[in-house]
Amino acid sequence: MPRPNRGSIDVRARMDGAQTFYLRLTVDGHRHRVRLGSDRDGWTPGRAMVALEEHLAAIRAGTWRHRDQATAPSAGEESSDLTFRAFASSWLEDNMLEWRPSTISDVKWRLESHLLRHVGDLPLSAFDITRITAVKTTLLKESRRKAGPSTTSSTAVATGVRTPHDATSV
């Protein structure tokens, strides 16, 4: 039996002291996390509660779609799969408000210098354990070829991608 449809508000303290509001929703037995915004964007516990009630009403009405599903083509439409580059750009934009500038620079550098040049134009549906293992192997070989075992740049990126979920979370 699937989990019942329900939701709650999650408030996370950021490193800069701001608070970020999220909704944690269970829809048709699947858990979803929806980022609302931070207190610096005008979000308050009351506003988050209103948003939660709106999402729960949409779930009850059967019209709720996670933002990833909202742009997905319907069964009759032609499938236009999101590329890793587009996904990574959206993911970076969604998360960078919560990171320090040095973290943003590091993540951008890792994406641009390593992952995007190998898998940036691939559709997300092309990722499986074989593809991820091949990219990891390529990155490890490149890092060893360039500077020997003391260099960790490509190694750090490659070892961070262990499962298909990890690859699509980047």
User: Cα(49)–Cα(14) distance, rounded to whole angstroms?
Assistant: 20
Residue 140 Ramachandran class (φ > 0 left, ψ -120 to 50 alpha, else beta): alpha
Regions in the chain scoring below 50 on pLDDT: 70-79, 151, 155, 162-164, 170
CATH number of the domain where residue 47 is located: 3.30.160
Q: What is the CA radius of gyration of the chain?
A: 19
The pTM assigned to this predicted structure is 0.44
Domain boundary among 46, 70, 94: 70
Q: Which domain holds residue 28?
A: 6-70
User: Cα(92)–Cα(44) distance, rounded to whole angstroms?
Assistant: 24
User: Cα(20)–Cα(36) distance, rounded to whole angstroms?
Assistant: 8
pLDDT reported for residue 67:
67
User: Is 109 inside any structural domain?
Assistant: yes
- Claim to verify: residue 104 and residue 151 sit in the same structural domain: yes
- Claim to verify: residue 163 and residue 88 sit in the same structural domain: yes
Residue type, 85: R
Domain boundary among 18, 47, 70: 70
Contact status, residue 59 vs residue 5, Cβ threshold 8 Å:
yes
User: Is 44 inside any structural domain?
Assistant: yes
pLDDT reported for residue 150:
52
pLDDT reported for residue 73:
44
- Claim to verify: residue 88 and residue 53 sit in the same structural domain: no
pLDDT reported for residue 165:
52
Contact status, residue 94 vs residue 35, Cβ threshold 8 Å:
yes
**Cα 87 to the chain's mean position, in Å?**
8
User: Is 99 inside any structural domain?
Assistant: yes
- Claim to verify: residue 93 and residue 45 sit in the same structural domain: no
Domain boundary among 70, 94, 116: 70
- Claim to verify: residue 10 and residue 60 sit in the same structural domain: yes
Please give the tally of structural domains in the chain. 2
User: Is 76 inside any structural domain?
Assistant: no
Contacts of residue 156, defined as CB under 8 A and 6 or more positions apart, other chains included, come to: 110
User: Cα(103)–Cα(114) distance, rounded to whole angstroms?
Assistant: 16
- Claim to verify: residue 35 and residue 89 sit in the same structural domain: no
Half-sphere exposure of 126 (CA within 13 A, CB side): 15
